[in-house]
Amino acid sequence: MRLRIGTWTWVAALAAGVVLVSVSVVSTQQPAARAYRAPRAPDGHPNLNGIWQAMNTAHWDIEAHSAGPSAVRDLGAAGAVPAGLGVVEGGELPYRPEALTKKKENLADRLKLDPEIKCYLPGVPRATYMPFPFQIIQGGEHVMLVHEFAGAVRTVYMTNQTEAPADSWMGWSNGRWEGESLVVDTRGFNDLSWFDRAGNFHSDALHVVERFTPRSADTLLYEATIEDPKVFTRPWKMSMPLYRRVEANAQILEFRCVEFVEDLMYGHLRKEPRKQ
């Protein structure tokens, strides 16, 4: 009897411990972020204005991954993949079986297939965590997200919200304020952008809900819930901090990469030198 009680006590303690552990895991992100109250913009909403950048390896692979070699031999260590703990909550991405096969094909053939390599608009949420800064410009009716990579730009409509008039690379975004968070609901994507360099992809049924929540003066919590029934069996979520570029002269510079990919894309159509 004593033993039995002891066993139950132990089980209960263990369960409590699990709860504590899970609470503490969650608490590293959410309660801390909720507790912070951001300075206000002149219109009274939290002030997210500034230049932000992710500092992780999600642009290589949003899932947890080991370090790996460069896909381009000549780049050696400079082109190698740094390891990363992943930004996807709850483990593996819930791919449908046929979609998982396509993901693997994308990865195997990524030098040919990755839209980033061709300087195509990066899509959402990929644009947010590419290794380039982006700027939030918080007007009253429109919040602009201006990315350095390929000059990608998103208009978030805070008023006059409509459905996407047509599919696009960066989607059609409607926004709202929920407490401290800017919530951006984006649909109307084409099926051509990826999530990362590891071939993770989506279809034109993609629906992204992002939350930008100030968590300190110079950091935001970025959360994106991804829904795409053609590719995934259930919605899933990624989250990561974004860091303010605090340099006094920080600015978004030009990265007009079209010029840098022309020989790659059209070099085979160049006129051969005349044979004398």
Partner 1 sequence: MKHFRVVVAGLAALVWAVPAVVLGQSAAPARSAAAGATSAASKPYVVPRTADGQPDLQGFWTNSTYVPLERPANVNKEFYTPEEAIAVEKSAAARESEQTEPGTVADVHYDFTQFGLDRSQSTFARSLRTSLIVDPPDGRIPPLTAEGQKRTAERAAARKAMGGQYDAVQNMPIGSRCIIMGGAGPPMMNAGYNANYQIVQAPGVVMILTEMIHDVRIIPLDGRTAPSPGVRQWTGVSRGRWEGTTLVVETTNFNGKNPFRGASEGMKVTERFTRVAADRVLYRFTVEDSSTWAKPWTAEMPMAKTDGPIFEFACHESNYGIANILAGARADEKRAAETAAKKGSN
Q: Which residues bind partner 1 (CB under 8 A)?
A: 41-43, 49, 119-121, 135, 137-142, 144, 146, 151-153, 155, 157, 160, 162, 165-166, 168-170, 192, 248-249, 251-254, 256, 258-259, 262-263, 265-266, 269-271
Q: What are phi and psi of 70, to 5 degrees?
A: -70, 145
Residue 17 is inside which H or E element, if any?
helix 2-27
CB-based contact 233:94 (threshold 8 Å): yes
Strand, helix or coil at 109?
coil
Tell the smallest beta-carbon distance from residue 167 to partner 1 (Å). 10
Q: Which is nearer to partner 1, 163 or 178 (CB)?
A: 163
Whether cis (ω within 30° of 0) applies to the bond prior to 241 is no
CB-based contact 71:111 (threshold 8 Å): yes
Tell the smallest beta-carbon distance from residue 267 to partner 1 (Å). 8
> CA dist 214 to 26, 146, 186, Å?
17, 18, 20
Q: Which is nearer to partner 1, 73 or 270 (CB)?
A: 270
Tell the smallest beta-carbon distance from residue 112 to partner 1 (Å). 15
Q: Which is nearer to partner 1, 22 or 251 (CB)?
A: 251
Q: Which is nearer to partner 1, 57 or 173 (CB)?
A: 173
Tell the smallest beta-carbon distance from residue 256 to partner 1 (Å). 6
Give the dihedral sign, CA 181/167/132/102. positive
Q: Which is nearer to partner 1, 14 or 265 (CB)?
A: 265
Tell the smallest beta-carbon distance from residue 105 to partner 1 (Å). 21
> CA dist 61 to 123, 191, 241, Å?
15, 19, 16
